[in-house]
Structure 1
Amino acid sequence: MPQTLLITGASSGIGEATARAAAKAGWNVAMLARSGDKLDAIASEIGDKALAIECDVTDRSQVEDAVSQTIGKFGGLEAVFSNAGTGVEHPGVEKGKPVEWKDMIDLNIMAVLYTAHAALPELRKTKGHFIITGSKAGRDHMKGSIYSATKWFIHGFAGNLAEEMREWQGRCTVISPGMVNTEFFDEDKPTKLQPKDVADAVVFALSQPDTSCVREIHLMPND
């Protein structure tokens, strides 16, 4: 019976590529994002293995409902890829915009926590896997970057969650890419990492035997 992967931020970029790669690898995929029309189009291309759920992952009740919809559709949940995230238009601290910081923290941090809180009871049942999109920015100090600080949180949280999940043979992985060619940037970046590169790393982490937990995969552009 196919296993099920829930993906946040699934309407484009890394999330969309992961949905397609996971479905190709035999997984059911529940795809979450605020862009319902985009999700529906992707799901129609993937077919019966896909479930599109319009969801604002900064709203805890919507996340809980999405997990319930996933269980109702596929009967269980074996993995989650908490991928939704954003940056800010005005970088730095002194010249930064606190309202942008709050919106970013709500998505980059609180939405991850809401997703983990909602999904862990189901993942415990299946000894499942929680995967989070981190960043090279969560490994390096970057001048005045609040975005980088949110990713430092993610890297620390992923390690802590891995230890908690280990108590019941669950697994947690942080995927740590350098620059990825997504809508995050205004211009095309053909020589940088591609969304499929990160998607393949997610599928690799999911494919490991029960005796192994890949705690982090760090990817960098090869140019």
Structure 2
Amino acid sequence: MSNTVEGNVALVTGASSGIGQATALALSKAGYRVAVGARRADRLRALTQDAPGEMLALDLDVTDRRSVQDAVSATVKRFGALDVLVNNAGVMLNGPILNADLTQWTRMVETNLLGSMYAVHASLPHLLESKGAVVQVSSTSGRTASAVSGVYSATKFGINAFSEALRQEVTAQGVRVVVVEPGFVATELTSHNTDPAMQAAAKAMAASMRTLQPEDIASAVLYAITQPEHVAVNEILIRPTDQTR
């Protein structure tokens, strides 16, 4: 990846809202040509209209390997390269393990963990060519598991483990791997919960602190990927000041 940002190419998954949307806009403002992928195509179209630079909207379901491969291929076909992959797509469906709805477990594992793995697999040949960067959006839940977030935490621990193995495999070839671990961010993520008790707990937690905004995480991503080529910012843990754990 060249030291000059202008014209570099990024692919952002889960870009229809929250951290993904904010990161796509921040990259576009910084001069990147950005491909944005998500399942909510209408939101992506609106995003491309708001973007200050060239942006490509892609219908992307990260749980579908073919969809992921097609998105990467479409990005490279349009822009001629891929310099940055931002793996952001994710769902959080918290609840106790006892009597859990196992379809929610499957959805989290397929989206959060396998989805990010599929995106890395499809993107890596291009990133090796460009000496680019992989940004893995993990979580504080990837460091510390807690009650009612067992499976969500397991997916984020998995992302961290996969990312470290990836780093060891590709860093000497010039590809930088960045794990970003946000604490409580004001996004739609908590609204994924269908359990009223989990929704209420999330609202109470949000009300108890000055939460991070998606733009705060986007700034951290941009900081990491715009460092000189010999500098690898491998991990950024970023919590609200008011968050105690």
Q: What TM-score, normalized to structure 2?
A: 0.87
Residue matched to 2:212: 193
* Equivalent residue for 1:29, pick from 28, 34, 48: 34
Secondary structure of the residue aligned to 2:154 is helix
Q: Is structure 2 residue 143 aligned with structure 1 residue 143?
A: no
Residue matched to 1:160: 165
Residue matched to 1:221: 240
Residue matched to 2:117: 113
Q: Which runs of 5+ in 2 are unaligned?
A: 1-5, 192-202
Q: In the TM superposition, what is the alpha-carbon distance from 1:47 to its structure 2 partner?
A: 5.0
Give the distance between the partners of 1:95 and 1:178, measured in 2 at CA.
27
Alpha-carbon displacement from aligned partner over 1:105-148 (angstroms, at most 9, x marks no partner): 00011101100000000001001100111100110131251111
Q: Is structure 2 residue 17 aligned with structure 1 residue 8?
A: no
CA contact 1:92–1:146 (8 Å) conserved in 2:
no
Alpha-carbon displacement from aligned partner over 1:177-215 (angstroms, at most 9, x marks no partner): 100000123457682010000000110111011101111
Moved more, 92-101 or 26-35: 92-101
Q: Is structure 2 residue 210 aligned with structure 1 residue 206?
A: no
Secondary structure of the residue aligned to 1:73 is helix
Q: What TM-score, normalized to structure 1?
A: 0.95
Amino acid at match of 2:45: D
State the number of aligned residues.
222
Residue matched to 1:70: 75
CA contact 1:77–1:128 (8 Å) conserved in 2:
yes
Secondary structure of the residue aligned to 2:122 is helix
